[in-house]
Amino acid sequence: MSSNAVSLKLFWSRQISQIKENGWVAVRFKLAKVVKLSIDLIGYTLAVPVVLIVRLIWPLVWIRFGPVHSRALGHSVFDPEHYLCEREIENSKTIDCFYFDSQTPPNEQWALMVKRNLRINPVFRYVDKVSRLFPNGEARHKLLSPRDDRDLKGYIPKTEPHIKFTTVEDSKGRLFLKELGIKPSVQYVCLIVRDSAYKEKYRNPGNKKDWSYHNFRDSDIDTYKTAVLALVEKGYWVFRMGKAVHKPLKINHPQIVDYANSEFRSDFLDIWLMANCYFAISNGTGLDSVSYIFKKPMLLVNLLPIMICRTVSKDFANYFKILQWEKNGEYLSLRDQINCGAINFDNQSDYDRLGIKVVDNTSTQIRNTVLDFEKKLSSNVTQQWDNVLQERFWKIMKEHEDFLEYHGKYCVPNISDVFLEEHHEWFLA
């Protein structure tokens, strides 16, 4: 018996065995795979003449195809808006056709809003993949954001938001605030504190992936309580945001809404609330991209790694976690982090490998920097910074060989003055 015949016999034996073991569940799964393969075969076959036509008319019309990153919320929010800003500023004349790169977007409301502004259809996936098989296919492939949600040319601050709510959607959001008892004259703040619950629930099918490599980015919601209460004392409402969280925000106050654990939570309000808040507080997670593209001020606390800090707007402020050598308890200065690579570590194992302890911000530090940020915003004047310490920070940062790849030429002074004043003696040494 030939090797092909043996392989075929083993294949069918495995299929029959799986069906006997799992019954109709296995049958449905296998039928779904057959249907998908059939659809893909038809799609790729029909894409060939489309690609040939596109290449034929290329001298007259430049048509490109590409994916909209829809697996992670941050990219799915930032990338389309950045692309539209780029088109406006560069006056692009190309015809671009897109498809979502996952079947289930992280937020249905945002997917709906993107579809209203971009030419999106799942059939473009086949055309894009076939096109890239031809010579010079990459020239007809469009990446929405070529550098991991970094606005290196400062496009977003220079334009008005392109992806917007309809009048009906906006009225729906304002009605929610009214029913909650928030008057139009009252401002609210959105607080989003990252933990591993979201990825474990929504990006971990079958509990197969271990997301612990991102543990260094997590924070404890309890350490934000004093800051939240301080904001409420100033008259603000505070929404604790999130689609899935490990711990509730245990504060019994009518102006504090643990929205992440409430009956109100929805994909629509996730986006609308972040887009219309007075300012947002985050520790660097996907949902805060909504406030970013809608040009809402944002304070980033418990942020790590330092290299990912937002640098294109003075209405942002960055307050970092502290790194400490486990062997002697000494803190890592900014130059130390550059020299050992921790400046852009994105895996918990990297910190563990070098014996580096990640130290979260204390409740007092968070409260102080939140009040400082709020004071600067509410003063109705342009944000004022301690320029001497800011300049020292950026001078050291620019010593990193990849600085321009992360920040381009448009970074502005927006490291929290509270952070620099407290730590500058060792941090900027």
The answer to whether 145 and 78 have CB atoms below 8 angstroms apart is: yes
- Whether 6 has a pLDDT exceeding 50, the answer reads no
Tell me, what's the pLDDT at 153? 83
Residues 199, 200, 202, 206, CA torsion sign:
positive
Average pLDDT value for residue range 141-158: 80
**How far apart are the C-alpha atoms of 30 and 39, rounded to whole Å?**
14
**Summary mean pLDDT of the chain:** 87
Tell me, what's the pLDDT at 8? 47
Which region among 84-93, 209-218, 287-296, 411-420 has the lowest average model confidence (pLDDT)? 209-218
Report domain extents, the chain: 16-157, 169-427
Tell me, what's the pLDDT at 2? 52
Residue in 40, 45, 42, 86 with CA at minimum distance from that of residue 64 = 86
Helices (H), ranges, 203-347: 225-233, 267-276, 288-293, 334-340
Average pLDDT value for residue range 136-143: 84
Tell me, what's the pLDDT at 57? 85
Residue in 253, 256, 222 with CA at minimum distance from that of residue 240 = 256
**Beta strands 63-68 and 237-240, pairing class:** unpaired
**How far apart are the C-alpha atoms of 215 and 202, rounded to whole Å?**
17
Tell me, what's the pLDDT at 71? 84
Tell me, what's the pLDDT at 60? 85
- Whether 327 has a pLDDT exceeding 70, the answer reads yes
The answer to whether 281 and 316 have CB atoms below 8 angstroms apart is: no
- Whether 210 has a pLDDT exceeding 90, the answer reads no
Tell me, what's the pLDDT at 15? 53
Strands (E), 12-93: 63-68
Average pLDDT value for residue range 106-118: 96
- Report, at the CATH architecture level, how domain 169-427 is classified: 3-Layer(aba) Sandwich (3.40)
Question: pLDDT per residue over 64-106, tens digit each?
Answer: 999 998 888 988 999 999 999 999 999 988 999 999 988 788 9
Question: pLDDT per residue over 246-278, tens digit each?
Answer: 899 999 999 999 999 999 999 999 999 999 999
**How far apart are the C-alpha atoms of 407 and 412, rounded to whole Å?**
10
Average pLDDT value for residue range 16-27: 60
Spell out a b/e string for 385-410, using b for 16 or more CB atoms within 10 Å of the CB, else e. bbeebbebbbebbeebeebeebbbee
User: 24-56 and 124-131 are packed helices; what angle lies between their axes, rounded to 10 degrees?
Assistant: 60
